[in-house]
């Protein structure tokens, strides 16, 4: 069974940092292209970042709204993907989902999500 479990969310002040972790199981993580997608309090979904597999040189991509502030990374030995979020803004407040696309251009599997609240 495919499982993706996000942790690391919480309440943080503007300008501070937070690191999310997504632990996975049930599939060959080392070959997987992983993403973070977030959902605002207004329920709008927004793709945030992607990291490809080792065979793709771990290429990374970011939404313009987070470029330069967020960093996606992975540890294949732990079947985990991370999202380091720096210089957080109130508009980064959202539920953050870890997702896996099985080689399509869609998000085939999702974690349960983790809440990040940026507020003073």
Partner 1 sequence: DIQMTQSPASLSASLGETVTIECLASEDIYDILAWYQQKPGKSPQLLIYDASSLHTGVPSRFSGSGSGTQYSLKINSLQPEDFASYYCQNGLSAPRTFGAGTKLELK
Number of residues that bind partner 1 (CB under 8 A): 18
- Segment contacting partner 1 (CB under 8 A): 17-25, 71-79, 82-90, 103-111? 103-111
The correct pick among 46, 75, 90, 91 for binding partner 1 (CB under 8 A) is: 46
Q: Does 106 bind partner 1 (CB under 8 A)?
A: yes
Instruction: Please state, in angstroms and rounded to a whole number, the distance separating the CA atoms of residues 86 and 106.
Output: 27
Sheet (strand 70-75) strand order: 3-7, 18-25, 80-85, 70-75
DSSP letters of 8-39?
A: --EEE-TT--EEEEEEEESS-GGG-EEEEEEE
Is residue 107 involved in binding partner 1 (CB under 8 A)?
yes
Q: Residues 52-71: x/- map of binding to partner 1 (CB under 8 A)?
A: ---------x-xx-------
- Kindly state whether residue 111 participates in binding partner 1, applying the rule CB under 8 A: yes
Residue 110 binds partner 1, judged by CB under 8 A: yes
In the list 2, 11, 45, 59, the residue contacting partner 1 (rule: CB under 8 A) is 45
Contact 99, 107 (CB under 8 A): yes
DSSP state for residue 65 in the 8-state scheme: T
Position 33 contacts partner 1 (CB under 8 A): no
User: In the beta sheet, which residues pair with residue 61?
Assistant: 50
């Amino acid at each position: 069974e495919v499982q993706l479990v996000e942790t690391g969310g919480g309440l943080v002040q503007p300008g501070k940092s937070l690191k999310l972790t997504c632990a996975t199981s049930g599939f060959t993580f080392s070959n997987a292209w992983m993403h973070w997608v977030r959902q605002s309090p207004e329920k709008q979904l927004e793709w945030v970042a992607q990291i490809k597999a080792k065979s793709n040189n771990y290429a990374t991509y970011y939404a313009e709204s987070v470029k330069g502030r967020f960093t996606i990374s992975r540890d294949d030995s732990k079947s985990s993907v991370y999202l380091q979020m720096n210089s957080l803004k109130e508009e980064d407040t959202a539920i953050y989902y870890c997702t896996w696309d099985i080689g399509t251009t869609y998000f085939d599997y999702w974690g349960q999500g983790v809440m990040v609240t940026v507020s003073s």
